[in-house]
């Protein structure tokens, strides 16, 4: 199983040789392609050949490209990698509206409960209890918009009453956006590799968004980023390469799913597998993650 997430922060040349990704800086590093989950190319002076890009993407590696602010702005992922994509898309298209609403209800409940756990880890027990009560009130399709009500309570409790989520000058917002972008990109790659249309969401429906389905499924994972930022971002004065590396590494942190601890990256895959079963009408329940304390996942 691919588990390595590579961040290219310095000037480097990337090439493929003998099923290995060669990363040439002052020295040359070699990484088996089969071990690579994603590559984040942050340095604008780095070079990578088209053949290398094609090989990585064909082998299921997600490639992130950063903008001038060193924030992920684009991803490359497999196109039509699934041999039965037409059949998968037909199943996705046939997902009934009532079931879509039930699935969104499940996602929102898990998101709010994970936000409550995050608050508990930060000693905000009263607000956490308020969120747990709200989670019980989530209706099919979240018709009452309980998700937004919970968010209004959550961010103020987590980061203080003066925190404004839309403030781009706040380091915490920059860190949150960076972490969310990484997990969103990983989920988008999984969606495509399992043959689904990323633009067709179960709740998000924007015609201008190519990743509506990824924006649905990232929701219960967001508190992983929130917890990290609340615990560790205050040690940084800016979004430094060290902070970005830690945010990128959140894909390798523990999270619980199906009563077992897995990496965030693998838990996301189990979630998309469960969505496939829902589309095949063999289940009406998604496998969704439960937040645990921040710790690096260990692979046996």
On average, the pLDDT of the chain sits at 91
Q: Name, in order, each residue with C-beta under 8 angstroms of 153's C-beta and a sequence gap of 6 or more.
A: 127, 130, 131, 134
Question: Are 170 and 59 found together in one domain?
Answer: no
- Number of separate domains in the chain: 2
pLDDT in tens, 18-63: 999 999 988 999 999 999 988 988 888 899 989 999 899 888 888 8
Question: Are 182 and 264 found together in one domain?
Answer: yes
Q: What's the mean pLDDT in 150-156?
A: 97
Report if residue 299 sits inside a domain. Answer: no
Question: Are 215 and 94 found together in one domain?
Answer: yes
Q: What's the mean pLDDT in 216-238?
A: 94
Question: Are 131 and 264 found together in one domain?
Answer: yes
Q: Tell me, what's the pLDDT at 269?
A: 94
Whether the Cβ atoms of residue 159 and residue 172 lie closer than 8 Å to each other: yes
pLDDT of 140 over the 70 cut: yes
Domain assignment of residue 49, given as a range: 4-76
* CATH classification of the domain holding 171: 1.20.120.920
Computed from CA positions of residues 241, 220, 39, 260, in that sequence, does the dihedral angle turn out positive or negative? positive
Binding positions for Mn(2+)? 147, 204, 219
Report if residue 248 sits inside a domain. Answer: yes
Domain closes at, from 23, 42, 76: 76
Question: Are 133 and 25 found together in one domain?
Answer: no
Q: What is the DSSP string of 56-84?
A: HHHTT-EEEEE-TTS-EEEEE--SS-STT
Question: Are 66 and 196 found together in one domain?
Answer: no
* CATH classification of the domain holding 23: 3.100.10.20
Question: Are 118 and 146 found together in one domain?
Answer: yes
Question: Are 89 and 65 found together in one domain?
Answer: no
Report if residue 12 sits inside a domain. Answer: yes
Structure tokens that stand for 28 in this block: 């040359």
Q: Tell me, what's the pLDDT at 143?
A: 95
Question: Are 243 and 184 found together in one domain?
Answer: yes
Q: Name, in order, each residue with C-beta under 8 angstroms of 185's C-beta and a sequence gap of 6 or more.
A: 38, 62, 64, 72, 75, 77, 214
pLDDT in tens, 108-121: 999 999 999 999 99
Report if residue 285 sits inside a domain. Answer: no
Q: Tell me, what's the pLDDT at 123?
A: 96
Question: Are 141 and 21 found together in one domain?
Answer: no
Binding positions? 147, 204, 219
Question: Are 109 and 16 found together in one domain?
Answer: no
Whether the Cβ atoms of residue 286 and residue 108 lie closer than 8 Å to each other: no
Q: Which ranges of 160-221 does DSSP label H, i.e. alpha helix?
A: 171-193, 212-217
pLDDT in tens, 59-104: 888 888 888 777 787 888 666 555 567 788 899 999 999 999 999 9
Question: Are 136 and 57 found together in one domain?
Answer: no
């Amino acid at each position: 199983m691919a588990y390595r997430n590579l961040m290219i922060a310095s000037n480097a040349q990337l090439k493929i040789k003998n099923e290995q990704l060669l990363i040439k800086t002052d020295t040359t590093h070699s990484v088996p392609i089969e071990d690579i989950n994603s590559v984040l190319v942050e340095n604008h002076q780095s070079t990578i050949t088209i053949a290398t890009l094609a090989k990585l993407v064909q082998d299921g590696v997600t490639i992130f490209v950063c903008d001038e602010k060193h924030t992920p702005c684009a991803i490359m992922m497999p196109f039509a990698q699934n041999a039965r994509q037409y059949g998968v898309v037909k199943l996705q298209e046939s997902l009934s509206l009532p079931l879509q609403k039930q699935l969104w209800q499940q996602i929102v409940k898990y998101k709010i409960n994970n936000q409550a756990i995050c608050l508990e880890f930060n000693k905000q027990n009263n607000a956490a209890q308020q969120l747990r009560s709200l989670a019980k009130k989530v209706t099919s399709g979240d018709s009452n918009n309980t998700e937004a009500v919970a968010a209004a309570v959550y961010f103020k409790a987590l980061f203080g009453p003066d925190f404004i989520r839309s403030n781009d000058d706040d380091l915490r917002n920059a860190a949150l956006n960076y972490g969310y972008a990484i997990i969103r990109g990983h989920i988008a790659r999984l969606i495509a590799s399992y043959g689904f249309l990323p633009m067709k969401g179960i709740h998000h429906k924007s015609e201008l968004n190519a990743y509506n389905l990824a924006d649905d499924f990232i929701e219960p994972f967001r508190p992983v980023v929130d917890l990290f930022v609340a615990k560790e971002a205050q040690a940084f004065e800016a979004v430094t390469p060290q902070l970005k590396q830690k945010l990128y590494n959140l894909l390798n942190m523990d999270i619980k799913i199906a009563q077992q601890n897995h990496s965030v990256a693998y838990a996301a895959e189990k979630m998309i597998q469960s969505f496939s079963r829902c589309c095949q009408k063999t289940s009406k329940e998604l496998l969704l993650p439960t937040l645990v304390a921040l710790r690096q996942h260990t692979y046996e």
